[in-house]
Amino acid sequence: MRRLRNVKIVATLGPASSDYDTIRALFEAGADVFRLNMSHGTHDEQKARYDIIRQIEVDTGRPIAVLADLQGPKLRVGTFAAGAAELEEGVTFRFDLDTTEGDSHRVCLPHPEIFAALEPGARLLVNDGKIRMRVETCGPDFAECIVTTGGTISNRKGVNVPDVVLPLAALSEKDRRDLEFACDLGVDWLALSFVQRPEDVLEARELARGRAAILSKIEKPAAERAFNEILAVSDGVMVARGDLGVELPVESVPPIQKRLVRKCRSAGKPVIVATQMLESMIESPVPTRAEVSDVATAIYEGADAVMLSAESAAGRYPIEAVKTMNAVARSVESDKTYHEIIEASRNIDRKTIADGIVAAAREIAESTDIAAICCYTQTGKTVSLIARERPRVPIVALSPLQETLRRMCLYWGVHCVHSEVVDRFKMAVVNAARAARDFGFADETQQIVVIAGVPFNVQGTTNILRVAPCDERLIFRTDPE
């Protein structure tokens, strides 16, 4: 099952997509990665979805990546005696640690770490920013605020604090339980919510112990400011525009998205653009024109993947949403302007032998009659470098390791193929030629570029490139030993 596009599609599973037939239909419509949102559902429900994904993997013979998205620390107000209160602009409102039910003058905010970090002038945003306040005075157990944007505040609404770095661990106790469960389950990627600093990523990496790759969600101003350091210790990034658009002016999100996508590409690390991409398709079988343009923009920018959230998890038209993303991607990638933009934005600092080899592979493939670039890999690192180059020809990644193949399903333009263990470069070339033919990337009259490392099965040894025929009889004839 060959995708006729390079950008990958991430589909979130939920109540609308929990049975075998629906998940299989999502995969066949174009989903490459399935997201398990740990904020919703029980462990038993998530395991049932995971087991279905792995059964589909067996039934189709194609590797599929699974991304477990951890909830992260949730900051919420307490409860109100009347269930809610109406706040008018200009009035004073108090947050404190008193657990007594609130009213129109005060409410409990059961997070002393917020009060420890607040300063006069800092903003507090409630209910996704619909209610906005400015801190006038504060102490270790209270904050007196002026309401700058009024509205209805009700029980347990979320609170955002955009102007300070909170002394909060990125992983709550729930997150730690969910992380261990997800790793034991066998997920391929772990997404960390509300990352603020590189130490948050390192903590999760230590707990994961190599069982899953770590993807940092950028949704706080502090993460955007420390992005270079966070990227350096992450395996991938998600530009989570929902909370980012709450804590920052909405007009600042598009340029931030563009900058982060380019930095990820330059580093050779996959980046997902997420949140509200086709949100109207939760209720409608067709998206708005603006949503289609939003998806297209992310693809033109060179994102590795675009993501569906509630559209596929709880919407009425999950399969149609995936089909729409697939159609938009194919349309954009067939546009001559797309290739011009991608190639003009290729800004890569090449320092290693592997960097040089993958750059040479792209140059050879694009300047001669080459059908595909094939790479034999143990860890997927070299394949990520090829994807960073954004070549005009398909990328075929071969590995004997199922976990490597699954993780690479998130990489731009990569078609993953299971291969036997090889100990000679000639057999790697033969396997690459067979895979290119079997999956329709080339026929026996064409040539491919093959990249590998010698000695085999040793990490970080990418050191060889060969232009080879797809006819394996010619391979044996020219390289008989």
Residues that are catalytic: 35, 76, 217, 275
Q: What does the DSSP assignment read for 413-461?
A: TEEEEE----SSHHHHHHHHHHHHHHTTS--TT-EEEEEEESSTT-TT-
Owner of token pair 């993501």: 307
**H helices then E strands: how many in the chain?**
18, 21
The token pair that represents 309 in the structure block: 């959230």
Of the candidates 190, 333, 351, 185, the one whose C-alpha atom is nearest the C-alpha of residue 268 is: 351
CA 297 to chain centre: 16
φ, ψ (nearest 5 deg) of residue 375:
-135, 130
d(CA 397, CA 409): 10
Burial of 336 (0-12, 13-18, 19+ CB in 10 A): exposed
d(CA 224, CA 202): 17
Of the candidates 24, 159, 182, the one whose C-alpha atom is nearest the C-alpha of residue 95 is: 159
The token pair that represents 3 in the structure block: 């995708």
d(CA 241, CA 253): 7
Q: Please tell me whether the peptide bond between 455 and the residue prior to it is cis, using omega within 30 degrees of 0.
A: yes
Tell me the Ramachandran region of residue 302: left when phi exceeds 0, alpha when psi lies from -120 to 50, beta otherwise: left
Residue type, 194: F
Of the candidates 11, 23, 15, the one whose C-alpha atom is nearest the C-alpha of residue 60 is: 23
Contact (CB, 8 A) for 315 and 282: yes
Owner of token pair 């004997």: 400
Of the candidates 413, 417, 398, the one whose C-alpha atom is nearest the C-alpha of residue 268 is: 413
The contacts of residue 190 (CB under 8 Å, 6+ apart) are 67, 68, 70, 179, 182, 183, 204, 208, 212, 213, 214, 215
